[in-house]
Amino acid sequence: MEALARTRFVRISPQKLRLVCNLVAGKTVEQALSILQFTPKKGAKVVLKALMAAVANARDQQNVDEDRLFVKRVTADTGPTWKRSLQRAHMHATPILKRTSHLTVVVDERVA
């Protein structure tokens, strides 16, 4: 049975978050946790927290064995963009786009 966890409005760009998501997709939960703990990126902490929430959802709702869980799907979708402006010389302004992401982590039980 699938279990998922969603984290919405994460203040990191989807492009940077997908770099971390691709590291753990298809791995067992144990492997994914160890990879994320030693990945020196901001997105690793976000994905780690969402992965632990998905595992907790699987354990609580479906009573599955944690040792047989694997990361079925990890997606980082585009959230709303916060628009700001940076004042420049001669009364010009440069737009600053503060991008956000929606993260979805799906874990499933591997059939032996």
Q: Give the separation between CA 35 and CA 52, rounded to whole angstroms.
A: 13
Indicate whether 112 pLDDT > 70: no
Looking at residue 111, its pLDDT comes to 80
- The range of the structural domain enclosing residue 98 comes to 3-109
Strands of the sheet containing 3-10, edge to edge, are 3-10, 93-109, 69-87
Q: How many structural domains are present in the chain?
A: 1
Tokens of 49: 């927290």
pTM score, whole prediction = 0.90
Task: Specify the CATH number for the domain of residue 18.
Answer: 3.90.470.10
CA 102 to centroid of chain Cα atoms: 8
Give the pLDDT confidence of 21-42 residue by residue, as tens digits: 999 999 999 999 999 999 999 9
